[in-house]
Amino acid sequence: MKKRKYFAALTACAVSAVMLPGLHASAVLPRAWGVASAGEYADMTLLDDRGIFSWLSGNGRPYLTGTAHCTGDFEQDGQTVHREWDELTVLYPRINTLTFTLEGVTDEDAAVEQVLAIVRNYYPDVEDDVRNSGEYRLWSAEPKHEAHLTKDERYEETPCMTLALTDLDETAGSAETAGHIMHDLAAAGLISAFYSWGETANYDRAEGFMFRDGEYLFEYTPEDLSEDADRAAEITAYLEKNAADCTLEIRTGALDDDTPYVHYLLHCGTDRDFPAAFGVVAELYEATGIMPAWLFYDSVMTPVPGRNLLVQKGDLNIDGSVSIADAILMARYLAEDSEAPVMPAGRQNAELDGDTLLTAADLSELMRLIAGIG
């Protein structure tokens, strides 16, 4: 429950969504996190980390590095203290995973059977299922792919299931197939949310910096004390040539057991916000291979949701897009065509003019939306 509150706190972080050039990812991602449709991460600024965190992703897995500037009020010694801080997050979009939340399930086994029947319509070579500890596993005798339908016990409020295609590894499945599965699940009244390939992500959150006296400081800890002079000279030479407003402070001392230590503090100047300061660190790493001593204090495997495809203004037929087909369906629905049923999710998406009624005014707004007017 603590992590849920932490997610909610993140929505108070407010920066403009900016895509910086050279986003580091080892594959083409099916969507761009850090944009208005990214749910809890809508206000992330995506950073070009120049490969700093490639060691975290493992196996060439695509990842995104982002930051958000956050504000909050906290109780301390009986007083309310206002704080501002920056968070650095490494996101791992789950490229080969569909995620959907079951709607008002009373008989879970029956709901799962319905889900399996729908999935098999699109993956016909999947024949059997094995149920063990809440996991529903599907596989093929001629395994061009293996699919796992898993109940995620970590979601406390409503049953949430994921469909992962393991043979696809880190490659997104067909968007068209995902749209069909979503449509069929919604038509059966089985789901309240649906996230397509790459629309959920795991993440690590890092600390390797501090904000003091109006500037950002990044800490470097040499592994080999004999290299101190050479490494310090290399960093200093780079800063003098490429980031004159940044300087290197060297602190030496000894621990309680007399073990010597050396810390480098990279000062980035008061004119640089966090993305700009991080840019210096990333470019320094690319040029020299030297990176700060990152501390990853929050690693969360519970998927963070991005864009719920089931909720999309104007998408009446629940196919994941808005087109003239939706306008035709709305017109038929308004004309009381009995062969033009609109699902509950589509009915909500049809409300475009701000009231609670579905009228010709909503159809007019939909046509404007399709035409790109307004």
CATH of the domain at 224: 3.30.70.2520
Using the predicted structure, report yes or no on whether residue 17 has a pLDDT greater than 50: no
Could you give the C-alpha distances from 65 to 25, 227, 293, in angstroms and in order?
A: 9, 30, 16
pLDDT value of position 226: 53
Using the predicted structure, report yes or no on whether residue 27 has a pLDDT greater than 90: no
Tell whether 341 and 277 lie within a shared domain: no
Tell whether 335 and 288 lie within a shared domain: no
Tell whether 62 and 112 lie within a shared domain: no
Question: Which of residues 166, 197, 228 is at a domain's end?
Answer: 197
Task: State what percent of residues in the chain have pLDDT above 90.
Answer: 16
| Greater model confidence, 145 or 141 | 145
pLDDT value of position 92: 81
Question: Which of residues 249, 279, 305 is at a domain's end?
Answer: 305
> What are the strands of the beta sheet with 160-165, ordered from one edge?
128-132, 135-139, 147-152, 160-165, 97-102, 191-195
Helix (H, G, I), strand (E, B) or coil at 281: helix
Rounded Cα gap, residues 223 and 216, in angstroms: 23
Decide if 35 contacts 42 (C-beta within 8 A): yes
Tell whether 10 and 68 lie within a shared domain: yes
Q: Which residue has the tokens 């070579």?
A: 125
The pTM of this model reads 0.68
Tell whether 43 and 76 lie within a shared domain: yes
Could you give the C-alpha distances from 232 to 104, 243, 282, in angstroms and in order?
A: 61, 15, 17
Tell whether 145 and 100 lie within a shared domain: yes
Strongest mean pLDDT among 52-61, 137-146, 161-170, 356-365: 356-365
Model confidence pLDDT, tens digit, residues 315-354? 998 888 899 999 999 999 999 888 888 888 888 899 898 8
Q: Which residue has the tokens 């990214």?
A: 38
Rounded Cα gap, residues 305 and 182, in angstroms: 16
CATH code assigned at 167: 3.30.160
Could you give the C-alpha distances from 88 to 5, 91, 280, 374, in angstroms and in order?
A: 18, 10, 15, 36
Query: If pLDDT is split at 50, 70 and 90, which confidence band does 258 have?
Result: confident
What mean pLDDT is predicted for residues 159-170?
Answer: 64
Query: If pLDDT is split at 50, 70 and 90, which confidence band does 155 have?
Result: low
pLDDT value of position 286: 93
- The tokens for 128 are 């059997």
Query: If pLDDT is split at 50, 70 and 90, which confidence band does 241 have?
Result: very high
Q: Which of 44, 58, 118, 132 is nearest to 88 (CA)?
A: 44
Total count of domains within the chain: 4
Q: What letter does residue 106 receive in the DSSP assignment?
A: S
Neighbour-count burial of 155, counting CB atoms closer than 10 A to its CB (0-12 exposed, 13-18 middle, 19+ buried):
middle
pLDDT value of position 125: 60
Neighbours of 108 (CB within 10 A): 13
Question: Which of residues 258, 275, 305 is at a domain's end?
Answer: 305
Tell whether 102 and 181 lie within a shared domain: yes
Task: State what percent of residues in the chain have pLDDT above 70.
Answer: 70
Could you give the C-alpha distances from 373 to 348, 363, 364, 366, in angstroms and in order?
A: 21, 14, 11, 10
Tell whether 105 and 155 lie within a shared domain: yes
Tell whether 193 and 222 lie within a shared domain: no
Q: Which of 112-116, 218-222, 241-245 has the lowest mean pLDDT?
A: 218-222
Tell whether 178 and 243 lie within a shared domain: no
Tell whether 57 and 102 lie within a shared domain: no
Rounded Cα gap, residues 257 and 235, in angstroms: 29
Model confidence pLDDT, tens digit, residues 166-194? 656 666 678 888 888 999 999 888 888 88
The helix (run of H) or strand (run of E) holding residue 298 is: strand 295-305
Decide if 70 contacts 87 (C-beta within 8 A): yes
Distance of CA 103 to the CA centre of its chain: 23
Helix (H, G, I), strand (E, B) or coil at 39: helix
List the domain range (segments joined by +) for residue 269.
215-293
